[in-house]
Homo-oligomer: A and B are copies of this chain.
Amino acid sequence: MTTEPNTPDAAESSRSEHVPDSDTVTPVMEDYLKTIYELQYDRDGAVWTSRIADSLEVTPPTVSSMLEKLERRGLIHREKHRPVTLTETGENVALGVIRNHRLLETFLADYLEYEWDEVHAEADRLEHYVSDQFVDRLTAMLEHPSSDPHGDPIPDEALAAPTRSWIRLSEAEAGVSHRVERVRADGERLRYLADCGITPGVPVEIVERTPLESVEIAIESDPDHEPNSQVLPKRACERILVGPLPGNN
């Protein structure tokens, strides 16, 4: 469902003919669709031109003209000066790219010994250039993983995202231990959290909420040692998703 780039393959292929290529989705378009999807579902709702511009590090006019193109291709719904939404087609393209991304991240971490915070940049590029065949074979090799190294769910071949219900660490009850399921951050922030021991699978517990929008938590990275205590801003705890601790229900 992704790029599957032009395979001129068969003897004396096309060339010439100046195809306006009205239904090809380019890598850049894929990036826009993925960004729209993430803004729509992962943060709070409405997807405005300027939010897309910020995420992709381009200027608003650039986004405007791309949105026009995406609308003509039937990939988004748009009204002037209103937030955009994905069509079903557009959402499927986005999910395909996200699937590629998360599978690649898993591969990089499991087979190429990439660090937790290094996988993102590499996957962000390759996600647009791997063929469906490559992705199929890769999932088989990885034994059909359901989540990537950050705990993000990997859509299956039919693009159905395994929905599970996590809560935000910021909303967990104080004094109750939970298991880290997902850490939604990248770059420096991600590295910092990893250094604190916050990675999927680790038990954490809120010790105390301060009146200053920060939260003291206890992290049990290593079951044999005493928990590591850490004070994090509430905003950071909102991006750490946790679930029930198995055996400690």
**Residues of A that sit less than 8 Å from B by CB:** 5, 7-9, 11, 13, 15-16, 57-59, 108, 111-114, 118, 121-122, 125-126, 129-131, 133-134, 137-138, 141, 187-188
The list of the 4 closest CB pairs from A to B, nearest first, reads A112-B137, A129-B129, A15-B57, A125-B129
A164 to chain B, nearest CB (A): 29
For the complex, what is the distance from the CA of A126 to the CA of B104, rounded to whole Å? Answer: 13
A interface SS class: loop
A134 in contact with B121 (CB, 8 Å)? no
Q: Which residues of B contact A137 (CB under 8 A)?
A: 112-114
For the complex, what is the distance from the CA of A28 to the CA of B114, rounded to whole Å? Answer: 28
Partner of A9, one of B5, B114, B129, B187: B187
A141 in contact with B112 (CB, 8 Å)? yes
Q: Which residues of B contact A58 (CB under 8 A)?
A: 15
A112 in contact with B134 (CB, 8 Å)? yes
Q: Which residues of B contact A7 (CB under 8 A)?
A: 121
